[in-house]
Amino acid sequence: MDVSYILDSLNEQQRNAVASPAQSLLVLAGAGSGKTRVLVHRIAWLLQAEHVSPFSVLAVTFTNKAAREMRGRIEELMEQSFGGMWVGTFHGLAHRLLRSHWQEAGLPEDFHILDADDQLRLIKRINRTLQIDEERWPAKQCQWYINSQKDEGLRADNIEHFDDDYTRTMLDIYKAYEEACDRGGMIDFGEILLRAHELWLKNPQILQHYQQRFQYVLVDEFQDTNTIQYAWLRVLAGAGNQLMVVGDDDQSIYGWRGARIENIQQFGSDFPDSDIVRLEQNYRSTSNILNAANKLIAHNQGRLGKNLWTDGAEGELISLYEAFNEQDEARFIVDRLQDWLNGGNRRSDA
């Protein structure tokens, strides 16, 4: 079967990633380097060139929109649909696991998922019951604490207990919150991932089933994964499955919600036989923009390193406009965009 169509439109670095024989692969994908294209073509390569069953493929993204786009692009490239392949978000896939194995996960069959507002209302009710001072310990602060501990994979009983008011109060609330959720058959978003991870650790036969099924795991936006998400991936990948992660250690902007850039940096240690492919050709920006970006990010000594380039034009010189306020900033941007469009240029290039 001719599979050249999968590789023909790709550059050399992209082809190396798509056709890599590595058991574990880290793709360092710079901004505008075609990372989604690489993921789509990698899956097509597995299905067509390596004759992998769609049933054995798991692709993880960070938004439902990205998941739909990825599936659509795979089916468009290959001109057929693939019903057995799992493509979804971490939370969506973990939720699917819990619905299938609710009993082993210690949940009622009709368990309810709390959204952020539901969670906050429950915490406020718990704080009133515990006679917690709302002004000193706001419910949103308690909510942040609970969610951040779950992102780290920590139950209340696993948290190191410092003898201070903050830790004692937060742990009392966390424990009461967990008890209330258990009584009501409720889980929050953080619990979905934590409970799915615990499901695998406590039920080796269930874990083995999914390890045998998902022998090819692909992850987008790896730099945005938190502790529990990466732990989830490591358990699923095990010792024998193929794992390909795509990310950019220069684009980590979600540390405030638990993302750990260290996941990229320690990937090589966790998977010693892994390879690295760098996607450095940029299709989005001009040379002047890339040169400035490369010089600026080079000051980050903790990065794995790559150098973005383009075979496109140098483009305009970078200019600085110091706005008086937000309104002045908005006016300046709108005026520049209008000048760009009046010159016959495309919106997508601005």
Query: Read out DSSP for 174-227?
Result: HHHHHHHHHHHTEE-HHHHHHHHHHHHHH-HHHHHHHHHH--EEEESSGGG--H
> Structure tokens of 32?
């505008």
User: 133 and 266 share a domain?
Assistant: no
Q: What domain count does the chain have?
A: 3
User: 84 and 135 share a domain?
Assistant: no
Instruction: Please state, in angstroms and rounded to a whole number, the distance separating the CA atoms of residues 90 and 113.
Output: 15
User: 166 and 201 share a domain?
Assistant: no
User: 60 and 130 share a domain?
Assistant: no
In a domain, 104, yes or no: no
User: 223 and 302 share a domain?
Assistant: no
- Write down the pLDDT at residue 176: 98
Q: CA angle at residue 306 from 302 to 309, to 5 degrees?
A: 145
User: 262 and 213 share a domain?
Assistant: yes
Q: How far is CA 88 from CA 194, 199, 226, in A?
A: 17, 19, 17
Segments forming the whole domain that contains residue 124: 112-184
Residue 11 belongs to domain with CATH number: 3.40.50.300
User: 339 and 301 share a domain?
Assistant: yes
Instruction: Please state, in angstroms and rounded to a whole number, the distance separating the CA atoms of residues 156 and 170.
Output: 9
User: 236 and 160 share a domain?
Assistant: no
Torsional class of 328: left (φ above 0), alpha (ψ -120 to 50), beta (otherwise): alpha
> Structure tokens of 131?
């006679």
Instruction: Please state, in angstroms and rounded to a whole number, the distance separating the CA atoms of residues 304 and 163.
Output: 39
- Write down the pLDDT at residue 300: 87
- Write down the pLDDT at residue 313: 85
Residue 124 belongs to domain with CATH number: 1.10.10.160
Task: pLDDT tens for the chain, 350 residues: list them.
Answer: 688 899 999 999 999 999 999 899 999 999 899 999 999 999 999 999 999 999 999 999 989 999 999 999 999 998 888 778 999 999 999 999 999 999 999 999 999 999 999 999 999 999 999 999 999 999 999 999 999 999 999 999 999 877 889 999 999 999 999 999 999 999 999 999 999 999 999 999 999 999 999 999 999 999 999 999 999 999 999 878 999 999 999 888 788 778 899 999 999 999 998 999 999 999 999 999 999 999 999 998 888 889 999 998 898 899 899 999 999 999 999 999 999 999 999 888 77
Instruction: Please state, in angstroms and rounded to a whole number, the distance separating the CA atoms of residues 298 and 282.
Output: 17
Instruction: Please state the pTM of the whole predicted model.
Output: 0.90
In a domain, 103, yes or no: no
Collapse the DSSP code of 281 into the 3-class scheme (helix H, G, I; strand E, B; otherwise coil) and give the result: strand
Q: CA angle at residue 120 from 114 to 123, to 5 degrees?
A: 105
